Structure 1
């Protein structure tokens, strides 16, 4: 009997009998049988959530929730809080119920990480008032650029049937400080503003409200024509403005704390004010006037580009910078972090810093449209931190993240993709947090706190984004993905009748002389949109940071890099390094097996193997294709291609932009 008991303990310690998990609990996996003593003199839906979370989970003595009106707590704003130890009691303080909710989740996070909670003196407030997830969910249940199943929102069942996952979603967001959500795709259907759908939206808003989450909607600019049967959507037309005011009144009568509208206008075929020779400011201001009496805002996207001879990377700046100061104060212009479209690495959009009199918000992409979908591990906190090294966090007013959440059991398709949802929330709350700190938090809460597990897996996460850049598009290469779904490499892609800026050759410009897009003063002069002295640094091929070299310069194949190697050899070695890194992730995960339940370990292991194989596919496809132009041999320290270029050029994945490919669809080494 003793031998059996010892054997059981050893098996549990080694992970052999760890309880199977499917990832559905995300990072909220603490035991909920604590029955803690929680003191609070007030009751409300928000406070009831905070009390319930603490009572079920907190294990270190009594907790008191207190509202304060003193200077310290008032200075922390509506969502800030303090956590203090007083004798054997932990006191959570805030000036509002929302602050106490966030304090409760902070305290429980410390417990989950095995932090010392005996003497706490914490004071926090969020960097931004609006910390919002943008869902690109369609009313038919599909998700554009969503790789984790169908939409969480079962529109056909609402409002009568409410899924328990709606509250679980709200709880997960509140635990990391996300306080807002846009429910539907920026390519919006006007139907979302119909009375029938607003009743469905109300049902979701009612569930989210106790978690301090406001609901927003993406709206179609032509909604007055589709729903209101007006002959125009001209923002200067009195009837159009009245239609929006009436619709906004209807929304707020159902959802008093409705947040406002997100608008994609005059971009990729969407209707907008420019259809009527009006400006983006005139369109946004018309909607903002309708929302202003209720405290609502308009988030107006700056992702615009049209067929022209102008460099696509310049177009958002050219269209929006002249409008600086012309937007109403409840309009925020939402700008993608880079000037193209969520590439694995982009310089920051030059609109940041160029609109001193207009509130701006940054739009990050949490879903991995250009980063291997939900098959590849790509921890994105380092990418977002890179943005903040160029753009001071204090210069923007809000943060948005394009959601990677679907109805898959584990929410995100890849268990490690949950880390990007988590990291977005934590950085939106505090952009000064390090990527390492966030990774440690997520790993500890999601898998366990054993340092033998945390250290190597954290290191793997920290290297993952750079690995993806290396095996996909190093040194500033960008947008050389396959047509439509953006999963695999297709630098050779040609589509009859397609716009040039939809094709990879527009961006890589490979020829016998060199490779890269010339955005210096001798080319498109996009460098001039950046402030000095950065503009001058980027403009010179000798001073441009090498990670952006081919973004801003058409560099000769024999251009000497800082390493002393030619550009061609350096390019080859980056691809080689990416392949080796991706392969090393498989070994790191193998070593982590004793610390992980079998179900999640197997799920991650399968995807890491896909990633390792895909890295070889990317390396061979890109280098063999570009070698046709460079006519230079591979360096001796770079492994020979596994695939033949002719074979790779025939690969056509049978997937849409709503899907993630399965292993049998992909080229195998």
Structure 2
């Protein structure tokens, strides 16, 4: 038997660094369940230890110490015993666990049972999560297993420390000083991921640098892999397809060239010699100017399978389906489907095709990607974006679980929901972490990292459940305050959609930095870079016709799904302008015209942000002063910028349609020319 001793937990300022792992002291009856003495962690699997199990014991010690609080006393009884049985067949498989009070002493003895040490680690975090939300020890009885085998974060971090579409400071990866120096932040990051069950991390940008495949970087990856292995995290690397030509001395990167294939085999062997559990490669190819197999007249399957052969059964090739070309005159929303669906069944068994949640690019709202369900013989995984590239950066409160739930719960019409399609493989999220003290740029953006991990583990969780448990762990357990915070979170994403891209509009941001409105931008070199390409607005109407009379993108969906969106008179208004070009004066089911409804949605979004700001102001005193002030300042920015989005967009639409403002609606605060003149070349994340 091994005992877990309580150690003092450092007292940090409430600056957000501890994320949802604060383990704030319990009160009342919940605290009386726990003694100030140390909880004994008895290992019941023959005494075998491991770094993973040691971390589980350390976490239990840290968590119980924090939850008990300084000076906590129990009236009587022995200290709580937490028994870890890490070799029991509990029917959960790898990483799963079962939590239950011990029947003969439910108040003082608790069991974490799992089939492996990783399951015991996940179970330890789960027990502490339940306690941290205020549950009594004797009331906790849970059996869980991850719904998806691969639960991954993708970092768009560059080796020089810049983060593409990052809004929380510099990269958390200190490549310059690795492998000799490993920053403590790497351990704290791994701990946060393990608390959610995240088990894979791609450490570099999909717009990859070839030199990250050189031996000096393999040594750096090896140090990271060693540090993260006990937390159940495998390291993955974005690989540049042209690396054999860039750094390998070859004059080609043709995937069918024997010398190219041999180069990748040797490179894979070199990596796996250093990192036996290396996860594999993530590849962005033939998209946005990145090199790929099509440069040589080959297919995506040719390129992916070449890399898959080099890796063999040691790992996985994840091939991104985010592709579009300036030379392709088709609707950008159709391009991935047209390139990949004909290749169904041609990808190797260790290839995963990674598909964005929607067919364009992480917009505030998109219909689910038509590739889901359309490739039954190919392993597909979902790619979501945690960093809010199009949803107000780090300054706007936008809780993204409702966005991801829309996608996961969508019925593809081809044999199940999106969640069911990707369940055999997994889900990836573009990370929102950075060097800011609070990790994510704003405190509420932590919730998106948390929600992604929770949904990757269990997509059946509701947005409300996740928001409530995050708020209780992160801010306060006070029921009224948790209710107010949860309400804010659940309304926030819809508010952003309303003041940025209502009624199915998309891609309406200004040039380059994706910050602020720019529906007037029509002069960029590539058609699909221009907001006007997506709104198709003129004096007669607005919207992108994707029916058979337009681009026919609607036909890529299953017939029963397409039927829901085919008629502008009956379509869910959330998708109206995504699929239809309609007249400004067309009457909608609400009885309002398109113009009236559009302005009403902009106003609804602005009003929703004002409501959130008022709700948060009412929590003064319930939240520590430092974080309350920081969130208040972010909400003030969001209030101002929501009005900017609304007014600039409305001013532009008026310049096209010549219509008066609907009755009761305020006119834009400034002229269209004033909004057009705004420029932000220094905006974060470029």
> After TM superposition, is the score higher than 0.5?
yes
Task: Report the CA distance shift for 1:34/1:554 in structure 2 as closer, same or farther (over 3 A).
Answer: farther
Q: Which residue pairs with 1:61 in the alignment?
A: 80
Matches within 5 A, 1:289-300: 289-294=309-314, 296-300=315-319
In the aligned structure 2, how far is the partner of 1:536 from the partner of 1:222?
A: 43
Q: Which residue pairs with 1:386 in the alignment?
A: 406
Displacement, 1:31?
Answer: 5.5
Q: Which residue pairs with 1:272 in the alignment?
A: 292
Q: 1:574 aligns with which of 597, 601, 612?
A: 601
Q: Which residue pairs with 2:132 in the alignment?
A: 112
Q: Which residue pairs with 1:429 in the alignment?
A: 457
Q: Which residue pairs with 1:478 in the alignment?
A: 506
Displacement, 1:119?
Answer: 3.8
Does the 8 Å CA contact 1:521/1:539 hold for their aligned counterparts?
no
- Shifted more, 597-606 versus 258-267: the winner is 597-606
Matches within 5 A, 1:488-637: 488-495=516-523, 498-637=525-664
Does the 8 Å CA contact 2:80/2:109 hold for their aligned counterparts?
yes
Deviation string, structure 1 residues 513-554 (Cα, Å, up to 9, x no partner) = 100000011000000000021112222212221100000000
Q: What secondary structure does 1:374 align onto?
A: coil
Q: Which residue pairs with 1:6 in the alignment?
A: none
Q: What secondary structure does 1:278 align onto?
A: coil
Deviation string, structure 1 residues 369-417 (Cα, Å, up to 9, x no partner) = 0001001000000000011221341211210000000011000001000
Matches within 5 A, 1:164-243: 164-243=184-263
Does the 8 Å CA contact 1:183/1:218 hold for their aligned counterparts?
yes
Displacement, 1:55?
Answer: 2.1
**Structure 1 residue 438 corresponds to structure 2 residue 466:** yes
In the aligned structure 2, how far is the partner of 1:36 from the partner of 1:117?
A: 13
In the aligned structure 2, how far is the partner of 1:107 from the partner of 1:656?
A: 41
In the aligned structure 2, how far is the partner of 1:411 from the partner of 1:657?
A: 15
Does the 8 Å CA contact 1:576/1:639 hold for their aligned counterparts?
no
Q: Which residue pairs with 1:162 in the alignment?
A: 182
Q: Which residue pairs with 1:316 in the alignment?
A: 336
In the aligned structure 2, how far is the partner of 1:118 from the partner of 1:218?
A: 46
Q: What secondary structure does 1:181 align onto?
A: strand
**Structure 1 residue 644 corresponds to structure 2 residue 663:** no
Does the 8 Å CA contact 1:170/1:213 hold for their aligned counterparts?
yes
Q: What secondary structure does 1:373 align onto?
A: coil
Deviation string, structure 1 residues 488-521 (Cα, Å, up to 9, x no partner) = 000011335x111110110001111100000011
Structure 1, unpaired ranges of 5+: 1-17, 660-669
In the aligned structure 2, how far is the partner of 1:639 from the partner of 1:61?
A: 62
**Structure 1 residue 79 corresponds to structure 2 residue 95:** yes
In the aligned structure 2, how far is the partner of 1:284 from the partner of 1:34?
A: 55
In the aligned structure 2, how far is the partner of 1:161 from the partner of 1:388?
A: 40
In the aligned structure 2, how far is the partner of 1:22 from the partner of 1:542?
A: 50
Structure 2, unpaired ranges of 5+: 1-10, 26-35, 69-78, 411-416
Task: Report the CA distance shift for 1:34/1:428 in structure 2 as closer, same or farther (over 3 A).
Answer: farther
- Shifted more, 212-221 versus 47-56: the winner is 47-56
Q: 1:96 aligns with which of 116, 121, 146?
A: 116
Does the 8 Å CA contact 1:34/1:55 hold for their aligned counterparts?
no
**Structure 1 residue 132 corresponds to structure 2 residue 152:** yes
In the aligned structure 2, how far is the partner of 1:598 from the partner of 1:173?
A: 27
Displacement, 1:656?
Answer: 4.6
- Shifted more, 316-325 versus 239-248: the winner is 239-248
Does the 8 Å CA contact 2:38/2:80 hold for their aligned counterparts?
no
Matches within 5 A, 1:451-462: 451-462=479-490
Does the 8 Å CA contact 1:36/1:62 hold for their aligned counterparts?
yes
TM-score by length of 2: 0.91
Q: 1:42 aligns with which of 30, 45, 48?
A: 48
In the aligned structure 2, how far is the partner of 1:107 from the partner of 1:405?
A: 25
Displacement, 1:34?
Answer: 6.4
Q: What secondary structure does 1:253 align onto?
A: helix
TM-score by length of 1: 0.93
Displacement, 1:68?
Answer: 3.3
Q: 1:405 aligns with which of 433, 446, 451?
A: 433
In the aligned structure 1, how far is the partner of 2:318 from the partner of 2:298?
A: 18
Q: What secondary structure does 1:84 align onto?
A: strand
Does the 8 Å CA contact 1:20/1:597 hold for their aligned counterparts?
no
Deviation string, structure 1 residues 19-66 (Cα, Å, up to 9, x no partner) = 841111111111598632111122101000001111232357110111
Q: What secondary structure does 2:587 align onto?
A: coil
- Shifted more, 410-419 versus 55-64: the winner is 55-64
Q: 1:21 aligns with which of 14, 17, 25?
A: 14
Q: What secondary structure does 2:628 align onto?
A: helix
Does the 8 Å CA contact 1:266/1:304 hold for their aligned counterparts?
yes
In the aligned structure 1, how far is the partner of 2:569 from the partner of 2:610?
A: 33
Deviation string, structure 1 residues 562-594 (Cα, Å, up to 9, x no partner) = 110000000000000111111122111111111
Q: What secondary structure does 2:621 align onto?
A: helix
Does the 8 Å CA contact 1:621/1:648 hold for their aligned counterparts?
yes
Bigger relative contact order, structure 1 or 2 (CA pairs below 8 A, ≥6 apart): 1
Deviation string, structure 1 residues 141-182 (Cα, Å, up to 9, x no partner) = 000000000000011111111111000000000001111100
Q: Which residue pairs with 1:303 in the alignment?
A: 322
Matches within 5 A, 1:240-389: 240-294=260-314, 296-307=315-326, 308-389=328-409
In the aligned structure 1, how far is the partner of 2:564 from the partner of 2:447?
A: 34
In the aligned structure 2, how far is the partner of 1:575 from the partner of 1:100?
A: 48
Deviation string, structure 1 residues 637-666 (Cα, Å, up to 9, x no partner) = 32232222111110001325526xxxxxxx
- Shifted more, 28-37 versus 459-468: the winner is 28-37
Deviation string, structure 1 residues 427-486 (Cα, Å, up to 9, x no partner) = 000000000110011111111100121111110110000000000010000101000010
Does the 8 Å CA contact 1:221/1:272 hold for their aligned counterparts?
yes
Aligned residues, how many?
637
In the aligned structure 2, how far is the partner of 1:169 from the partner of 1:578?
A: 34
